[in-house]
Amino acid sequence: MDLQQAQRDIDAILEMFAHHRRRYALRGLRMHDNPMALADLADEVAIRENEAPITEISPEAVKRIYLSLYHTHIPKLEDANFVQYDQNRDSVALSERAGQVEQYQELLTVE
């Protein structure tokens, strides 16, 4: 791999971790059954984002998270080949590449 390709790969990884919802989605997929229904993943992101149990989070807030995952974050993760999205089943799974960036997520995630 040449230096320019390595720099592009690093830029892509940093772009994926630039938004907390993408970080939470990747972490949720790693911690739970893989693949995961997008609705379940939205619940996981909502729990992390609100630091509260799902029973204390409004359905409207979870729906907003679901829609942002569906329209923005999952497509970005899929374009970068970190996840695979099956629209027919509305499910998300980690790709092989996601395992390669796990070490970076650990460095970039503050909990």
Confidence band for 106, pLDDT divided at 50, 70 and 90: low
Whether the pLDDT of residue 21 is over 60: the answer is: yes
How is the chain split into domains, by residue range?
A: 3-108
What distance in Å separates the CA atoms of residue 65 and residue 67, rounded to the nearest whole number?
A: 5
Q: So what's the pLDDT on residue 15?
A: 82
Q: So what's the pLDDT on residue 83?
A: 93
Locus of tokens 């374009």: 79
* Mean pLDDT, all residues of the chain: 88
pLDDT tens for residues 82-91? 899 999 999 9
Q: Answer for the pair 15, 82: CB distance below 8 angstroms, yes or no.
A: no
Confidence band for 102, pLDDT divided at 50, 70 and 90: low
Quickly name the fold that domain 3-108 has.
Arc Repressor Mutant, subunit A (1.10.10)
Whether the pLDDT of residue 57 is over 60: the answer is: yes
